[in-house]
Amino acid sequence: MSTGPTPPRIGVWGTGSYLPARIRDNAEVAEAVGVSPEWIRERTGVTTRHVAAAGQAASDLAAEAVRSAAAEAGIDPADLGLLVLATSTPDELGPSTACRVQGLLGATRAVALDVSAACSGWLFAAKVAHDWLREDPTRGCAAVVGVEAYSKFLDPADRGTAVLFADGAAAAVLGPVAAPGGFTDFHFGSDGSLADYVLIPAGGSRHPASAATLRDGSHLIRMDGRSVSRFIKEVFPRLVHESLDRNRLKLDDLACVVAHQPNPVLLRDLARELGITESQLIVVGDRVGNIGAASSPYALATAARGSLRPGDTVLITVFGAGMTWGSALLRWTGTTERQTP
């Protein structure tokens, strides 16, 4: 009995990113929240963050990132078969922001949908694209983009959020690659009992927008920073250890670790405790802040433009509101290792 052809390996054809032009430095943030610039840098590691213009929505940022990734992949956005977008700050509650991006790009062939898993969202979205492409090799390629326009949902005087969150987008074009390249060992988890750790309380069906919610700022991000920190301190080491154990790998086998960037100081401290070297850990949050679902693909794009070489093994770890978390291994490939149907 024939089992049919072996599904292709799915890897990264190209990466891209986009940051709004306006930069908000620590001096500006410090004045609003009532601390010193040094206080922010010492506790978070963040020095600058980018802020979308008044007329820029999440879809505008995402479209630029996808264009950049498509250019690196050597494709036209019109060639995309799928566009999956991850965000916590959509253009509107409906339709999907992915559909807005599809329209901006003229990607008329692409099936477009959103994935909502907060800061973990890009890797969740990558899994959707990965499985969609493996199911039918003739589908070509997919764009997976993470984007946030957090500044639209921030209280500039809230020390717990304003010092960290920022705007930006990053994307990858995924498609078939030669074995043994591509993604493997996706693992995900969620714990809805912790959903109140980070949220935007109002504007949905539970607490519809009203004059009262506007007055008390319930349409802005609220975060229990201490609880989130405890969560990260537990989940990040666990993701690293479990991925290495499942795949019988050692830290030395990893070219780099691409992680969500909630707080560069915390991330570096945890990596040091795990034995991850400075050269292995990709840190971008110091200059872009926490850009949520865009953090991990932005870090991946940074690694791709740096020392990453074909054959390198990348560990991707994500964690975010919900609470949600996930990991995957990626064997890096170059454009010469693509496969076409």
The active-site residue out of 26, 50, 119, 141 is 119
Of 292, 339, 279, 335, nearest to 123 by C-alpha is 292
The DSSP secondary structure of 113-133, one letter per residue, reads EEE--GGGHHHHHHHHHHHHH
In one letter, which amino acid is 308? L
The active-site residue out of 50, 130, 260, 263 is 260
290 is catalytic: yes
DSSP 335: G
Burial of 5 per CB tally in 10 Å (0-12, 13-18, 19+)? exposed
Q: How far apart are CA 128 and CA 108, in angstroms?
A: 19
Q: How far apart are CA 135 and CA 116, in angstroms?
A: 23
CA 203 centroid distance within chain = 23
Query: By the 8 A CB rule, do 251 and 237 touch?
Result: no
Query: By the 8 A CB rule, do 244 and 266 touch?
Result: no
**Residue 92 corresponds to which tokens in the numbers above?**
């509107």
CA 199 centroid distance within chain = 17
Handedness of CA 277, 264, 60, 139 (dihedral sign): positive
In one letter, which amino acid is 170? A
Q: How far apart are CA 247 and CA 185, in angstroms?
A: 8
CA 336 centroid distance within chain = 26
Q: How far apart are CA 9 and CA 37, in angstroms?
A: 47
Of 252, 285, 298, 261, nearest to 61 by C-alpha is 298
DSSP 295: H
Task: Report the catalytic residues.
Answer: 119, 260, 290
